[in-house]
Amino acid sequence: MGQNEVKVGLLGLGTVGTGVVQLLNEHVQKIEHQVGGAVRVTKALVADKTKDRGDIDLNDLELTESAAEVINDTEIDVVIELIGGVEEARQLISDALANKKQVVTANKDLIAMYGAELLEKAAENSCDLFYEASVAGGIPIIRSLTEGLSADQITKMMGIVNGTTNYILTKMNDEGRSYDDVLQEAKDLGFAESDPTADVEGLDAARKMAILATLGFSMNVDLEDVDVRGITTISAEDMDYSEQLGYTIKLIGLAERDTETGKVDVSVQPALLPADHQLAAVKNEYNAVYVYGEAVGETMFYGPGAGSLPTATAVVSDLITVVKNNNLGVSGRSMVPPQFEKSLKSDEDIRSKYFLRMHVKDETGVFDEITSLFSKHDISFEKILQVPLAKNGAGKAEVVMITHETSRTSYEVIYEKLKSMESIHELESSYRVEGGTSE
């Protein structure tokens, strides 16, 4: 890789890949000024070379249907992986590193599962492997953790890191529409995949939180360490009662580290936020992440979580860093292995407030029975609503409550006991409550 021209090979020329080509075409002078020479995509892997690429200026870019032609091209200095998936991408990146090529990827699934392995291989081959675009699109959250906040001790990261689910919940909340109705609209608009499982079941967000926790806490956090729950069971009634109680429901990624024990917990699940919390105001497909540091205090990163140009901006920023590192002769030296052994909190260590909605017999003494059960476990209530069921609810009432903070262990014990009480017809929904005065 010389300073006169850096040649780049793309694995994938879809939405993000074309955005990368567009940015490199439009920002030629700025990029040359930063790195001391031209940076040009010379070859790209595509599924079909005959496909119409629209108005994008390919600038004599060679298209190929063979990944090996990109990976093994001796003239290519940097490989950018944008094909997605896991096993094929893992092998291609591994081969590229073995061929002494610098690598940039936007593949969150791959990094969450095999990031440590690939970063080690990159260091062994004196190569860089950067992945800023794998989390939160155009928001520079990874670089902020590894560079901007590297002098601080991160204690908590909390945010909205999936645009599809945030779009769905925004429309449900603001327009009173059903989950199924909004999901179909999100598919029609391209915000949701034809198979949205990874988004709506929280898996996409969980992969991102595993990456952030690994970097923020300098500890190898695996995907299976993340407690995951999606949004598919959230109802219009949950939204309405949350609003009455002064809250908004969001799919929240949460990673916390205990400053005394060093133990961490990482989760992705629907949570109630106070309506005046800044994350409650994050609408539609936008992402936002709070980072809490012992020294810096509270910082917030906000922006588009996906899209061609926002994600491509993160990819090209990594590309520029790769070229700068090469020019300085420090390629492959940026990886810092985790400082701490993995240590996870137990359920007894994890504390939160909880929202609980249930249908009960509309009889004297039932409410006292419920409150007595909570009292025996030293759990008090912050807010309570009790209303008769208007629809198909003869002889039934609805009780909605928000508890004060308690351990997950205590709450789950109570939850199981509530399920067996004859006076309770149905436990309709239960969510964590975040934010507020404990923040």
* pLDDT bucket at 1, cuts 50 / 70 / 90: low
Could you list the beta-strand ranges (E) of 51-179.
62-64, 78-81, 102-105, 129-130, 154-160
Q: What is the DSSP string of 24-71?
A: HHHTHHHHHHHHSSEEEEEEEE-S-TTS--TT---TTPEEES-HHHHH
Q: Is residue 434 part of a domain?
A: yes
The pLDDT value given to residue 63? 95
CATH of residue 14's domain is 3.40.50.720
The Cα 12–Cα 40 span in angstroms is 15
The pLDDT value given to residue 439? 39
Kindly report the backbone phi and psi dihedral angles of residue 350, in degrees, each rounded to the nearest multiple of 5, phi listed first. -90, 115
Whether 319 and 407 share a structural domain: no
Whether 115 and 26 share a structural domain: yes
Is 194's pLDDT higher than 90?
Answer: no
Cβ contacts of 347 within 8 Å, gap of 6 or more: 407, 408, 409, 412
Q: Please state whether beta strands 406-407 and 424-433 pair in parallel, antiparallel, or not at all (unpaired).
A: unpaired
The Cα 177–Cα 90 span in angstroms is 40
pLDDT digits (tens, 9 = 90+) for 311-325: 899 999 999 999 999
Provide the domain limits for residue 39: 5-137+308-328
| 155-169: b (≥16 Cβ within 10 Å) or e | bbbbbbbbbbbbbbb
Whether 168 and 133 share a structural domain: no
Instruction: Please give the positions annotated as active site.
Output: 208
Residue 71 near residue 44 (C-beta atoms within 8 A): no
The pLDDT value given to residue 64? 96
Whether 159 and 285 share a structural domain: yes
Is 187's pLDDT higher than 90?
Answer: no
Is 66's pLDDT higher than 90?
Answer: yes
Residue 26 near residue 56 (C-beta atoms within 8 A): no
Between the two ends of the chain, the Cα-to-Cα distance in Å is 48
Of residues 140 and 435, more confidently modeled: 140
Cβ contacts of 156 within 8 Å, gap of 6 or more: 254, 255, 256, 257, 290, 291, 292
Whether 67 and 35 share a structural domain: yes
CATH of residue 216's domain is 3.30.360.10
Give the predicted TM-score (pTM) of the model: 0.90
Q: What's the sign of the alpha-carbon dihedral 34, 35, 38, 44?
A: negative
Which of 54-63, 118-127, 138-147, 156-165 comes out lowest in average pLDDT? Answer: 54-63
